[in-house]
A = this chain, B = another copy of it.
């Protein structure tokens, strides 16, 4: 088949592409990530590119006016190669990874005093073989391990292959690494050992585990020292799967295409490999000493990473293929680690309460607290856990993308240029913007949206129904989508267009917060309690970082409780994965949690819809819930 050079600007990367390939696929092959929220279905209109030279096969349509088309605008997912071409990817189409590149920062350091990782290293000094004592190398090793009460070790072939040489070059003084396999179903059963590596040394040394949080949007990793319990700063990057859809549903759809599962799996693996490479700069040679990868992700992400078709997750009654995973040799999946690195993936509870939430609940310590706790992770898929050391219930609610800046006219992720803070002065009818990194504003992120709506509601500009109050502010005006509020005029904005919040945006936010709130209500009432009984609220996830609690209560996203009951714990999925990398005991806890958490499918739960409808006000129909 004929191929043509396709060049992408501003990166100036040229890729040979076949006739008929979509520009989105070509860009993906070149690791250039174009935002395609819908997974390349041609329905989101986000993957706009500009044709600068040459030609591609495309036509105007739903998302492209004739005028756009004439000016060279194309949708990367619909346009097909039919000759050489040069395309420019505008800022708004880029799946922007710049945020992550800067995000390697020292964090609050977790330290685990007595790590008990699933891989243990034992130094043994063997009596070298002699004419009267010539048992096999492996029998000799196992006999020495048995003396240390380390019985019953199976062995990896890759370790076995290297064993004879290592024994002899070290004069039979070696370090053995044994992975203790946790029985999949019954964590109470005694684990069994498997020798995964030999080293020609008897000096105790650092060795590592890698915690990984595979998020739908981003993947974070954190290296831990299994010998000392020390935790290194985390690193993040955009999950390269973003080019196959922004949310789990579009990813699942993409995975159903020909070769889709393989591609989408590789995208996550590539992202983790990039993070592995970045640690190399900080700690050269650490990879050889990395024995455990402890991975937490939502149920869909876990399936895609491991390469299991998650199709049924999105089909009623939402049955995931698996909620627990066998131990996997990480290198089998294409991860650039040694054969001795074992990957453990967190168990899920259900299709939409995944391993990331189990890890989060583990990190939050719910299992050891008598206090009635609400644990929430706010996002497109909001997850809710209520319980304490004795019982737990959980649910997922489909909040929609508003909290992540989606479905909002000027929405964007919490990246530089996003309006995050907002102050409204009713007296002067003026507002002040707080922008991430203090640059010119480009749009509104999720927490910004909450702050704007709360301030405008308190200031009388937005009413209980989420409508603009006529003549309440000079910034309220009619726009193409109906009434809107001007936040930043084009000449003060980065994108050369007005930044506004519309009544439709507010409606979307109310739907989202209502979905979450009616979720808490349903779980609390299912166990015969009331909202006021909640002794602690733990907010997890990237979203919580910049959340203004009072504003979140004002709009009815969070329950009206004394502020001191709220805690924000950051990326609890990564923290849980970190604890589990360091500790086999924590892995057992994770399996216990999976068993302990009773899942509610909200859409099937009586009363949920009524509560949801009642929540479609600011803050709520039942004002008594929010009496201060």
Q: Contact between A319 and B134 (Cβ–Cβ < 8 Å)?
A: yes
Residues of B within 8 A of A161 (CB): 307-309
Q: Contact between B134 and A318 (Cβ–Cβ < 8 Å)?
A: yes
Q: Is A157 an interface residue (CB 8 A)?
A: yes
A152 to B324 alpha-carbon distance, docked (Å)? 12
Name the segment of A61-69, A103-111, A178-186 touching the other chain. Answer: A178-186
CB-CB under 8 A for A322 and B160, given A134-B317, A192-B183: yes
* Interface residues on chain A, number (Cβ under 8 Å): 53
Name the segment of A82-90, A125-133, A215-223, A421-429 touching the other chain. Answer: A125-133
Taking A138-B322, A152-B186 as known contacts, 4 extra A-B pairs with beta carbons closer than 8 A to each other, sorted by chain A number, are A131-B601, A163-B322, A164-B308, A164-B312
A135 to B351 alpha-carbon distance, docked (Å)? 8
Shortest CB-to-CB span from A346 to chain B, Å, is: 13
Residues of B within 8 A of A101 (CB): none
Q: Contact between B348 and A309 (Cβ–Cβ < 8 Å)?
A: no
Q: Contact between B604 and A157 (Cβ–Cβ < 8 Å)?
A: no
- Chain A, residues 141-174, CB within 8 Å of chain B (1/0): the string is 0100010000111111100110110000000000
For this complex, 9 residue pairs linking A to B, each with C-beta atoms less than 8 Å apart, are A134-B351, A136-B319, A151-B185, A152-B186, A154-B181, A154-B184, A156-B326, A161-B307, A164-B312
Q: Contact between A324 and B138 (Cβ–Cβ < 8 Å)?
A: yes
Residues of B within 8 A of A142 (CB): 185
Q: Contact between A185 and B136 (Cβ–Cβ < 8 Å)?
A: no
A138 to B601 alpha-carbon distance, docked (Å)? 19
Shortest CB-to-CB span from A331 to chain B, Å, is: 13
A210 to B538 alpha-carbon distance, docked (Å)? 57
Residues of B within 8 A of A490 (CB): none
Residues of B within 8 A of A181 (CB): 154
A507 to B348 alpha-carbon distance, docked (Å)? 73
Residues of B within 8 A of A139 (CB): 322-324
Q: Contact between A183 and B138 (Cβ–Cβ < 8 Å)?
A: no
Q: Is A460 an interface residue (CB 8 A)?
A: no
* Of listed A153, A184, A306, A320, residue having the most chain B CB within 10 A: A184
Residues of B within 8 A of A132 (CB): 601, 604
Q: Which of these, B157, B321, B601, contacts A307 with CB under 8 Å?
A: B157
Q: Contact between B129 and A160 (Cβ–Cβ < 8 Å)?
A: no
Q: Contact between B321 and A137 (Cβ–Cβ < 8 Å)?
A: yes
Q: Which of these, B138, B321, B601, contacts A163 with CB under 8 Å?
A: B321
Shortest CB-to-CB span from A261 to chain B, Å, is: 9
Q: Contact between B137 and A322 (Cβ–Cβ < 8 Å)?
A: yes
Q: Which of these, B155, B189, B348, B604, contacts A136 with CB under 8 Å?
A: B348
Q: Is A328 an interface residue (CB 8 A)?
A: yes
Q: Contact between A136 and B321 (Cβ–Cβ < 8 Å)?
A: yes
Residues of B within 8 A of A309 (CB): 161, 164
Shortest CB-to-CB span from A357 to chain B, Å, is: 15
Residues of B within 8 A of A136 (CB): 319-324, 348, 350
Q: How many copies does the complex hold?
A: 2
A312 to B169 alpha-carbon distance, docked (Å)? 13
Shortest CB-to-CB span from A58 to chain B, Å, is: 36
Q: Contact between B312 and A185 (Cβ–Cβ < 8 Å)?
A: no
Q: Contact between B155 and A319 (Cβ–Cβ < 8 Å)?
A: no
A152 to B192 alpha-carbon distance, docked (Å)? 12
Q: Contact between A130 and B320 (Cβ–Cβ < 8 Å)?
A: no
A142 to B326 alpha-carbon distance, docked (Å)? 13
Q: CB-nearest residue of chain B relative to A138?
A: B322
A185 to B129 alpha-carbon distance, docked (Å)? 20
Q: Is A316 an interface residue (CB 8 A)?
A: yes
Shortest CB-to-CB span from A208 to chain B, Å, is: 25
Q: Contact between A321 and B164 (Cβ–Cβ < 8 Å)?
A: yes
Q: Which of these, B137, B152, B164, B316, contacts A184 with CB under 8 Å?
A: B152
Q: Contact between A157 and B326 (Cβ–Cβ < 8 Å)?
A: yes
A317 to B168 alpha-carbon distance, docked (Å)? 13
Q: CB-nearest residue of chain B relative to A190?
A: B189
Residues of B within 8 A of A131 (CB): 316-317, 601, 604
- Chain A, residues 493-526, CB within 8 Å of chain B (1/0): the string is 0000000000000000000000000000000000
Q: Contact between A138 and B323 (Cβ–Cβ < 8 Å)?
A: yes
Q: Is A311 an interface residue (CB 8 A)?
A: yes
Q: Which of these, B151, B192, B312, B321, contacts A138 with CB under 8 Å?
A: B321
Shortest CB-to-CB span from A139 to chain B, Å, is: 5
A155 to B160 alpha-carbon distance, docked (Å)? 23
Residues of B within 8 A of A318 (CB): 134
Q: Which of these, B152, B164, B183, B601, contacts A134 with CB under 8 Å?
A: B601
Shortest CB-to-CB span from A502 to chain B, Å, is: 36
A537 to B365 alpha-carbon distance, docked (Å)? 68
* Of listed A132, A134, A318, residue having the most chain B CB within 10 A: A134
A307 to B164 alpha-carbon distance, docked (Å)? 13
